[in-house]
C-alpha cells in the first residue's frame, strides 16, 4: 500500500524584545538564576500584568510577512496547569482570538514552489526552567525565562514530507531573522519546533492517527526525527497494526524517537479570557506603520537578485538564505559590481568557512572582499593568488592590498621583465622547444608552468602564453 505523510509544525519563537512581555524584567539569556525577576513574573499575590507593546508590533511584523489576517481585536487567555516553572499556575497565552490567522509561507522543494498554510500566530509568555541537581535528588527553579515573549506559529497539516518540513522550518527561520524579531538560536531554545505526523493511505481524505514529536533542537534533527517516525509508522501500518497516539521524544544519540516517559495526563487547560488584561486593539494605522518599516523579505529579495542582478535562481536562493548573507553580498556589490563573479566567489570560498547564519562572525568586511575581487579583475593579482590572499584575510582580517604588497604577490605584467625569463627557459629546455616547433603546440603549457614556478605564480598567464608563442616561432 502507498502512504501519504501528513505533517504539521508548531513553532515557538522567542521575541528579541529587551524586556519581558508583562513586566519590565530583562530577557537577556544566561544571567545567574532568578536575577531577572520581579513580583509580576514571580506570580506574587496582587500583582498585575501590563502588556509590552513591542511584542504586538513584532507579532504584526510576522503576520504581515506570512500574509496572515490580523485580528484587530484579539485577546489574552489563561492556560491553567500546575508546574513549578509556572509561578502563577497559568500561562498567559491567546486562545479564541489570536493576533493573526490564515497565513501562508512559500517553500521550494526539488525546484517546486508550494505554499504551507499557517493556522494561527499567537502571543504568549514563556515558562521558567527546572534545573536538576546532578548528584542529589533535588530540582531547582530558575524563573529568569518566565515571561519572555513568545510567538507560537501553528501550521496547517499541509506538509507532505520531512524535506518539506525542513524547508518550511528554514523559511520561517529566515523570515523571523529577516524581521529581526527572534535570534533564531535553536540550541539555546529561542526557536523551538514540535511536530505532529501521521500517515494515511494515498487518496484517503481522513487523517491517520498521529504522534507528536518533541526535543528536536536543530533543522537536521527535525528532518531526521520525522524521517524516522515516518518509517516507524509505515512499518506499523504495513504490519496491519495501529499507531498509538502519543508524544515521542527524539533521541539524537540513538537516532530514534522514543515515547515520552511518565504518565501522560490528559490536560484540561481550562482556557478563559484573562480578566487582568483588556483586549488588544490593533488599528490600520499601526499595521501600516509596521508595514512601512518592514525589511525586504527573503522571497522578494531573491526575486530581485534574479531580475535586477541577473543571477541564476540557484545563486539567488543561496545568497538570500539569511538576511546577514544577503546584506553582506549587497554591501560587497557596492565595491565590485560583477554580481555573478562575486556570487561565485562567495559560494565557493566564503560559505565554505562561514555559513549563512554565521556570516556576521566573518572577519573579512564586504568592502575588503570587493577590493580583493577588483584587484583580480584588474589583473593586479591572478585569480589563483586571490584565493590564497583570501585565506590570509580570513585568518587576519588584513586588507588585501597590504597582504599582496607585503608578500610581493603583484602579478608580473611587465613585458621586458618577463621576456628575459621566457628566453632563459627556452634555452634551458631545447628538447621541448623543438617539440613545439615540430607542431606539438600543447607543450606551451609546460613552458608557462616553468615560468610560473620561477615567478612564484605571479606572472600574468595570458601574457606568458603570448610571449612563449612569440619567442618559440
Partner 1 sequence: MEIYSLTLTQAREKLARGEITSLQLTEAVLFRINQVEDRIRAYLHLDREGALARAEEADRLREQGRAGDLLGIPLSVKDVLCTRTMPTTCGSRMLENFTPPYDATVIERLNQAGAVILGKVAMDEFAMGSTSENCAFQVPVNPWKEGYVTGGSSGGSAAAVAADECFASLGSDTGGSIRQPASLCGIVGMKPTYGRVSRYGLVAFASSLDQVGPMTRDVADCALMMNVIAGYDHRDSTSINREVPDYTRALVDGMEGIRIGIPAEYFGDGLDPEVERSVRRGIDMLREAGAEIVEVSLPHTRYCVAVYYLIAPAEASSNLARYDGVRYGFRDQDARTLIDMYRASRSRGFGDEVKRRILIGTYALSAGYYDAYYKKASQVRTLITDDFRQAFARCDLLVSPVCPTPAWKIGEKSDDPLAMYLSDILTISANLAGIPAISVPCGFSSDGLPIGMQMQAAHFNEEVLLRAAHNLEQRAGVVGTKPELA
- Binding interface with partner 1 (CB under 8 A): 39, 42-51, 78, 80, 82, 84, 87-90, 141, 268, 270-272, 275-278
Q: How far apart are CA 18 and CA 7, in angstroms?
A: 34
* Residue 150 or 280 having the CB closest to partner 1: 280
Closest approach, Cβ 292 to partner 1, in A, equals 28
Quote the crossing angle between the two packed helices 430-437 and 461-472, to the nearest 10°.
80
Report how far Cα 297 is from the mean position of its chain's Cα atoms: 13
Using CB under 5 A as the binding criterion, the count of chain residues that bind Zn ion stands at 5
Asked if residues 24 and 52 have their Cβ atoms less than 8 Å apart, the reply is no
Among 13, 15, 41, 197, binds Zn ion (CB under 5 A): 41
Which of partner 1, Zn ion, none does residue 209 bind to, with CB < 5 to 8 Å depending on kind? Answer: none
> Quick check: 351 binds Zn ion (CB under 5 A)?
no
Q: How far apart are CA 251 and CA 216, in angstroms?
A: 8
* Residue 128 or 298 having the CB closest to partner 1: 128
Residue 449 phi/psi, 5-degree rounding, is: -60, -45
* Residue 20 or 88 having the CB closest to partner 1: 88
Q: How far apart are CA 155 and CA 188, in angstroms?
A: 23
Asked if residues 83 and 126 have their Cβ atoms less than 8 Å apart, the reply is no
Among 6, 7, 11, 25, binds Zn ion (CB under 5 A): 25
Asked if residues 124 and 81 have their Cβ atoms less than 8 Å apart, the reply is no
Asked if residues 69 and 99 have their Cβ atoms less than 8 Å apart, the reply is no
Which of partner 1, Zn ion, none does residue 25 bind to, with CB < 5 to 8 Å depending on kind? Answer: Zn ion
Closest approach, Cβ 270 to partner 1, in A, equals 4
* Residue 77 or 433 having the CB closest to partner 1: 77
CB atoms within 10 A of CB 142: 18
Among 31, 38, 72, 444, binds Zn ion (CB under 5 A): 38
Which of partner 1, Zn ion, none does residue 270 bind to, with CB < 5 to 8 Å depending on kind? Answer: partner 1
Q: How far apart are CA 460 and CA 381, in angstroms?
A: 8
* Residue 42 or 249 having the CB closest to partner 1: 42
Which of partner 1, Zn ion, none does residue 41 bind to, with CB < 5 to 8 Å depending on kind? Answer: Zn ion
Closest approach, Cβ 278 to partner 1, in A, equals 5
Asked if residues 246 and 260 have their Cβ atoms less than 8 Å apart, the reply is yes
Q: Running DSSP on this structure, what letter comes out for residue 26?
A: B
User: To the nearest 10°, the Cα dihedral for 164, 166, 168, 171?
Assistant: -140
Read off the C-alpha cell for 334. Answer: 557596492
Closest approach, Cβ 87 to Zn ion, in A, equals 10
Those residues with Cβ within 8 angstroms of residue 41's Cβ, 6 or more apart along the chain or in another chain: 20, 22, 23, 25, 87, 143, 146, 147
Q: Is 386 helix (H, G, I), strand (E, B) or coil?
A: helix
Which of Zn ion, partner 1, none does residue 277 bind to, with CB < 5 to 8 Å depending on kind? Answer: partner 1
> Quick check: 23 binds Zn ion (CB under 5 A)?
yes
* Residue 38 or 260 having the CB closest to Zn ion: 38
Closest approach, Cβ 77 to partner 1, in A, equals 10
By CB atoms closer than 10 A (0-12, 13-18, 19+), residue 158 is buried
> Quick check: 199 binds Zn ion (CB under 5 A)?
no
Closest approach, Cβ 41 to Zn ion, in A, equals 3
* Residue 272 or 314 having the CB closest to partner 1: 272
Which of partner 1, Zn ion, none does residue 87 bind to, with CB < 5 to 8 Å depending on kind? Answer: partner 1
Quote the crossing angle between the two packed helices 461-472 and 444-454, to the nearest 10°.
120
Closest approach, Cβ 238 to Zn ion, in A, equals 53
* Residue 89 or 449 having the CB closest to partner 1: 89
Interface ranges with Zn ion (CB under 5 A): 23, 25, 38, 40-41
Amino acid at each position: 500500500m502507498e502512504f501519504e505523510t501528513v505533517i504539521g509544525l508548531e513553532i515557538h519563537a522567542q521575541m528579541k524584545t529587551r524586556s519581558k512581555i508583562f513586566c519590565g524584567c530583562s530577557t537577556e539569556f544566561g544571567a545567574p538564576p532568578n536575577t531577572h525577576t520581579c513580583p509580576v513574573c514571580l506570580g506574587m499575590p496582587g500583582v498585575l500584568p501590563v502588556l509590552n507593546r513591542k511584542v504586538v508590533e513584532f507579532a504584526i511584523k510576522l503576520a504581515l510577512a506570512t500574509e496572515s489576517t490580523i485580528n484587530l481585536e484579539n485577546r489574552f487567555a489563561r492556560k491553567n496547569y500546575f508546574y513549578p516553572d509556572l509561578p502563577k499556575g497559568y500561562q498567559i497565552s491567546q486562545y479564541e482570538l489570536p493576533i493573526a490567522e490564515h497565513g501562508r509561507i512559500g517553500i521550494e522543494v526539488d525546484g517546486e514552489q508550494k505554499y504551507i498554510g499557517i493556522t494561527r500566530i499567537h502571543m504568549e509568555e514563556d515558562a521558567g526552567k527546572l534545573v536538576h541537581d546532578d548528584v542529589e535528588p533535588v530540582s531547582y527553579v530558575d524563573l529568569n525565562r518566565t515571561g519572555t515573549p513568545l510567538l507560537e506559529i501553528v501550521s496547517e497539516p499541509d506538509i507532505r514530507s520531512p524535506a518539506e518540513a525542513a524547508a518550511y522550518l528554514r523559511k520561517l527561520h529566515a523570515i523571523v531573522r529577516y524581521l529581526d524579531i527572534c535570534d533564531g538560536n535553536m540550541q539555546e531554545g529561542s526557536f523551538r519546533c514540535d511536530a505532529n505526523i501521521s500517515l494515511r493511505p494515498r487518496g484517503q481524505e481522513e487523517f491517520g492517527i498521529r504522534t507528536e514529536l518533541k526535543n528536536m533542537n536543530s533543522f537536521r534533527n527535525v528532518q531526521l526525527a520525522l524521517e524516522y517516525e515516518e518509517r516507524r509508522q509505515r512499518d506499523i501500518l504495513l504490519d496491519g497494526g495501529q499507531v498509538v497516539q502519543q508524544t515521542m521524544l527524539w533521541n539524537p544519540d540513538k537516532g530514534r524517537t522514543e515515547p515520552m516517559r511518565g504518565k501522560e495526563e490528559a490536560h484540561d487547560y481550562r482556557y478563559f479570557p484573562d480578566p487582568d488584561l483588556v483586549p488588544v486593539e490593533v488599528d490600520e494605522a499601526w499595521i501600516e506603520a509596521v508595514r512601512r518599516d518592514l525589511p525586504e523579505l527573503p522571497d522578494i529579495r531573491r526575486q530581485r537578485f534574479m531580475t535586477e542582478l541577473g543571477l541564476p535562481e540557484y545563486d539567488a536562493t543561496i545568497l538570500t538564505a539569511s538576511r546577514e548573507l544577503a546584506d553582506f553580498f549587497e554591501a560587497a556589490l557596492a565595491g565590485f559590481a560583477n554580481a555573478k563573479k562575486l556570487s561565485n566567489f562567495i559560494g565557493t570560498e566564503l560559505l565554505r568557512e562561514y555559513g549563512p547564519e554565521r556570516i556576521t562572525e566573518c572577519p573579512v568586511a564586504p568592502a575588503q572582499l570587493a577590493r580583493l575581487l577588483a584587484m583580480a579583475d584588474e589583473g593586479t593579482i591572478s585569480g589563483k593568488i586571490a584565493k590564497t590572499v583570501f585565506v590570509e584575510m580570513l585568518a587576519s582580517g588584513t586588507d588585501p592590498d597590504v597582504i599582496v604588497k607585503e608578500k610581493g604577490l603583484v602579478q608580473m605584467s611587465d613585458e621586458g621583465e618577463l621576456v628575459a625569463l621566457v628566453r632563459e627557459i627556452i634555452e634551458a629546455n631545447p628538447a621541448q622547444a623543438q617539440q613545439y616547433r615540430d607542431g606539438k603546440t600543447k607543450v606551451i603549457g609546460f613552458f608557462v608552468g616553468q615560468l610560473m614556478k620561477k615567478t612564484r605564480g605571479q606572472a600574468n598567464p595570458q601574457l606568458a602564453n603570448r610571449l612563449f608563442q612569440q619567442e618559440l616561432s
